[in-house]
């Protein structure tokens, strides 16, 4: 009976995401089973968790954000990792994912290179304006 209770909730979240591409922080917190302040704290601790904000400044979570939240909650609450340990596990998982898909890996490396180049350009421009 317990599985039947949780199954419809999971289906409703999938259905909700199918009709609504983003969920607000309160909706996500309710479905995941944590308080909104916990999600805000996790944002500060886990760099991979970066929800967008709507024009009024409210956090809106996409499917990928919710999947990350579920994984973080699993690591912290079920597997009993510390925040630090969960970060390491997520980083390791990300490395494995990149290694298993070389196209994504090379794309990611290119993006990192471009970010660094842009930061250097910005720093140069700031120095020349002073």
The gap from C-alpha 83 to its chain's centroid, in whole angstroms, comes to: 15
Q: Which residue carries 């990192």 as its tokens?
A: 112
Instruction: Look up the pTM and report it.
Output: 0.65
Side-chain-side CA neighbours of 26 within 13 Å: the count stands at: 1
Q: Partners of 59 in the beta sheet?
A: 53
Domains of the chain: 2-80 (1.10.1660.10)
Q: What is the CA radius of gyration of the chain?
A: 18
Each residue's pLDDT tens digit, 84-128: 999 999 988 887 776 676 665 566 677 777 888 888 888 888 888
Closest CA to 94 of 106, 109, 105, 103: 105
Pairing of strands 23-24, 52-53: unpaired
């Amino acid at each position: 009976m317990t599985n039947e209770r949780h199954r419809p909730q999971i289906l409703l979240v999938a259905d909700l995401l199918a009709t609504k591409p983003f969920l607000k922080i309160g909706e996500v917190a309710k479905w995941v089973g944590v308080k909104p302040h916990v999600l805000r704290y996790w944002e500060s601790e886990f760099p991979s968790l970066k929800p967008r904000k709507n024009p009024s400044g409210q956090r809106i979570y996409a499917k990928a954000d919710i999947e990350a939240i579920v994984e973080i909650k699993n690591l912290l609450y079920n597997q009993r990792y510390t925040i630090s340990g969960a970060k390491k596990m997520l980083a390791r998982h990300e490395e494995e994912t990149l290694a298993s898909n070389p196209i994504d890996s090379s794309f990611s490396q290119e993006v990192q290179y471009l970010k660094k180049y842009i930061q250097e350009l910005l720093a140069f421009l700031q120095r020349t304006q002073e």
